[in-house]
Amino acid sequence: MARLFDRNMFIMLFAIMIGFITVTYFIADIVNQSKIDNLTTAHVIEMEAIEEMNINFTNSFLESSVLLDTAREYRAFGNYHFDLASLFFTSALSESNISIMKSYKNITIDNCTEAMPKYNISNLNFKTASSFFNNTKKYTEYSGYIKLLDLYIDLTESGARLTMLRYNASKYLKQLAENITVINGYVSLDNVSGLMDLFNETMGIYGGELYIYDGYEEEIDEYDIEGFDPNRDS
């Protein structure tokens, strides 16, 4: 009888032990599965955040680049009219035929008038592009991209200074052309020495700024990030 009792106790204890082990296993499995699910969820959330950041970076960079291209385009239009104005201004001063001189004078004034709003629009787009490039930096933590964006910010800030200098130069050149007169049958510029000094000073500053601007463009063209090409036609 005692042996039967001991055997039954053994069987019962063994069954309890098996049950405990089984429950423990299932609990551990549930806990592990929960950890895996949490890690998977965290990973998915992290990947979605990275993907969203990449999309925002790309969109913001493209928007900034469009503004930069627009600024470059209007600057080129302004340069075209300014160069024509400079050419006809020089021709007007050396022209002995009064009728032709007056024609050159008017062409100079007209081209300066055309150049000024082009430079103004370009200036505004350079400034806006600079702000957009700076805003794009919040969508990346990669130092290579941040350095590239800093170069674009430097470029657009320099572009804004360039276009304002050329706007002022166009204004001064227009005023100089308006003061071209004929005295005793000869072409002359009266009482404009101060204005000529302003024009020459502005063009000197412009030349220095253009050197800086071209340097930034060259740095951007040569900048090397694997899988990224910042080169854009301008």
The pLDDT mean for the chain works out to 82
DSSP character string of 191-212: S-HHHHHHHHHHHHHHHHHHHH
Burial code of 47-84, b = ≥16 C-beta within 10 A, e = fewer? eeeeeeeeeebeebbebbbebbebbbebbebbbebbeb
How high is the pLDDT of residue 234?
38
pTM here?
0.77
Calpha distance 199→188 (Å, rounded): 17
140 vs 189, more confident: 140
For 95-142, where are the alpha helices, taking DSSP H only?
Answer: 98-136
233 has pLDDT over 50: no
Tell me: the pLDDT tens digits for 90-134? 999 888 888 999 999 999 999 999 999 999 999 999 999 999 999
DSSP character string of 209-229: HHHHHHHHHHHHHH--BTTB-
